[in-house]
C-alpha cells in the first residue's frame, strides 16, 4: 500500500485545519502524526482513511502498482480510534465474530486467540456495555492489530490504558505491526517511539 498527498488541505467553513501537506506514506513504514490536542491530527487521519474528503489538493492510493479507488480503501485498512464506537449490546464474542465478518484474521489468529490476547476469557459472554473504558480500548486495538490488512491506523492508541495496558499495546506493535503501513496520531511519545517518520500538523497551519 502507498498513499500520496499533494498539497492536501482541509477546512471547516472558512477556517483551514491544515493546508499544503505533501507526503508519501509507503508500505511497511511507520509514521507518527504529531501535534497538540485540537490541532487536526484526527482530521488528517480521517482524510487518509477516506472517511473525509480533502478540501484542496490531490490524494492517491496504490495497492501494489495499481491505483486504488477511495471507496475501496476500507477493505485494506484497520483502524482504532476514540471516536469509533463498539456495539455495546453485543457480548465480547459477538463483537469479535461481527468484526471478522468484514476482515480476515491474521495468520495464526482466531477468535479464541483474540480473547486470550485480551486476557478476557471470563468476560467473553458479557455485553460490552459493562466493560470499563480500558477494556473497550483494548478490544478496539486487538481487533485492529489482529485483522489481516496492509494498513494500520491508530488514533491516541493508549487513551484509557494504564501502565500495564501501555506495555500490552507496545507488545502488540512488536507482534503485529511489522510489514504494515502504520500511521499513529499522538502527542505522547511512548505511543509512537517506534515510528521511523514523523509529520507535525502544526507545520501545515
Reduced to 3 states (helix: H, G, I; strand: E, B; else coil), residue 117 is helix
| Exposed/middle/buried for residue 107 (C-beta within 10 Å: 0-12, 13-18, 19+) | exposed
Against a cut of 0.75, is the pTM above it?
yes
Query: Is a pLDDT exceeding 90 seen at residue 65?
Result: no
Q: How confident is the model at residue 51 (pLDDT cuts 50, 70, 90)?
A: very high
Q: Classify residue 13 as left (phi > 0), alpha (psi -120 to 50) or beta.
A: left
Residues 6+ apart with CB under 8 A from 204: 9, 18, 19, 20, 21
Domain ranges of the chain: 2-204
Q: What is the DSSP letter of 55?
A: S
> What is the rounded distance in angstroms from the CA atom of residue 103 to the CA atom of residue 77?
9
Domain 2-204 CATH superfamily? P-loop containing nucleotide triphosphate hydrolases (3.40.50.300)
Band of the pLDDT at 139, cuts 50, 70, 90?
Answer: very high
Check whether 64 has a pLDDT greater than 90. Answer: no
Q: Of 107, 130, 106, 156, which is closest to residue 120 (Cα–Cα)?
A: 130
**In the predicted model, is pLDDT for residue 164 greater than 90?**
yes
Amino acid at each position: 500500500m502507498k498513499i500520496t498527498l499533494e498539497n492536501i488541505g482541509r477546512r471547516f467553513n472558512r477556517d483551514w485545519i491544515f493546508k499544503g501537506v505533501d507526503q508519501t506514506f509507503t508500505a511497511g513504514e511507520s509514521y507518527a502524526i504529531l501535534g497538540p490536542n485540537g490541532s487536526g491530527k484526527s482530521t488528517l487521519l480521517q482524510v487518509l482513511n477516506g472517511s473525509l474528503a480533502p478540501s484542496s489538493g490531490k490524494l492517491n492510493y496504490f495497492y501494489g502498482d495499481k491505483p486504488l479507488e477511495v471507496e475501496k480503501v476500507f477493505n485494506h485498512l484497520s483502524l482504532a480510534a476514540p471516536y469509533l464506537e463498539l456495539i455495546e449490546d453485543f457480548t465480547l464474542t459477538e463483537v469479535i465474530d461481527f468484526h471478522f465478518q468484514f476482515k480476515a484474521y491474521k495468520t495464526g489468529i482466531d477468535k479464541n486467540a483474540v480473547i486470550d490476547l485480551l486476557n478476557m476469557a471470563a468476560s467473553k459472554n458479557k455485553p460490552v456495555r459493562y466493560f470499563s473504558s480500558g477494556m473497550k480500548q483494548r478490544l478496539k486495538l486487538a481487533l485492529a492489530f489482529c485483522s489481516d490488512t496492509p494498513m494500520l491506523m491508530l488514533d491516541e492508541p493508549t487513551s484509557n490504558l494504564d501502565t500495564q495496558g501501555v506495555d500490552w499495546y507496545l507488545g502488540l506493535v512488536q507482534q503485529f505491526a511489522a510489514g504494515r503501513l502504520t500511521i499513529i496520531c499522538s502527542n505522547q511519545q511512548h505511543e509512537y517511539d517506534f515510528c521511523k517518520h514523523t509529520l507535525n500538523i502544526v507545520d501545515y497551519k
